[in-house]
Homo-oligomer: A and B are copies of this chain.
Amino acid sequence: MAKNITPREKDYPRWYLDVINAGGLADYAPVRGCMVIKPHGYAVWEAIQQALDGMFKATGHVNAYFPLFIPQSFLAKEAQHVEGFAMECAVVTHSGLEKTEEGVLVPKGKLEEPLVVRPTSETVIGAMYAKWVQSWRDLPILINQWANVVRWEMRTRLFLRTMEFLWQEGHTAHETEEEAHQETLRILEIYRTFAEEWLAVPVVTGQKSESEKFAGAERTYTIEGMMQDKKALQMGTSHDLGRNFAKAFEIRFQGRDKTLQYAWTTSWGVSTRLIGALIMAHSDDEGLILPPKVAPIQLAVVPIWKGPEEKAKVLEAAEKAAASARAALGDRKVVLDDRDELKPGPKFFEWEQKGVPFRLEIGPRDVNDGAGVLVSRLDRTKEKVPFDRIGEVLPGKLEAYQKALLERARSFRDSHTFEVDDYRELKERVQAEGGFYLVHWDGTPESETRFKEDMKASIRCIPGTVRDGEFQRTHTEPGTCIVSGKPSPGRVIVAQAY
A86-B97 in contact given A34-B67, A36-B66 (Cβ < 8 Å): yes
Q: Is the pair B75, A152 in contact by a Cβ cutoff of 8 Å?
A: no
Q: Which of B62, B90, B114, B128 contacts A29 (CB 8 A)?
A: B128
Identical chains in the assembly? 2
Q: Which of B34, B74, B163, B166 contacts A30 (CB 8 A)?
A: B74
Q: Is the pair A105, B72 in contact by a Cβ cutoff of 8 Å?
A: yes
Residues of B contacting A328 in the complex (Cβ-Cβ under 8 angstroms): none
Q: Is the pair B87, A69 in contact by a Cβ cutoff of 8 Å?
A: no
> In the complex the two chains form, what is the Cα distance from A57 to B148 in whole Å?
23
Residues of B contacting A131 in the complex (Cβ-Cβ under 8 angstroms): 27
Q: Is the pair B38, A64 in contact by a Cβ cutoff of 8 Å?
A: yes
Q: Is the pair A64, B36 in contact by a Cβ cutoff of 8 Å?
A: yes
Which of these binds chain B: A39-47, A360-368, A399-407, A420-428?
A39-47
Contact with B along A152-183 (1 / 0, CB 8 A): 10000000000110100000000000000000
> In the complex the two chains form, what is the Cα distance from A87 to B65 in whole Å?
26
A91-B95 in contact given A36-B67, A71-B31, A124-B30 (Cβ < 8 Å): yes
> In the complex the two chains form, what is the Cα distance from A27 to B74 in whole Å?
18
Residues of B contacting A117 in the complex (Cβ-Cβ under 8 angstroms): 68, 92, 117
Q: Is the pair A97, B72 in contact by a Cβ cutoff of 8 Å?
A: yes
Q: Is the pair A76, B91 in contact by a Cβ cutoff of 8 Å?
A: no
A211 interface residue per 8 A CB criterion: no
Q: Is the pair A97, B74 in contact by a Cβ cutoff of 8 Å?
A: no
Q: Which of B63, B105, B147 contacts A75 (CB 8 A)?
A: B105
Task: Supply 5 further A-B pairs (C-beta < 8 A) apart from A37-B64, A68-B150.
Answer: A35-B67, A42-B63, A90-B115, A93-B93, A95-B152
Q: How far is the CB of A147 from chain B (nearest CB, A)?
A: 8
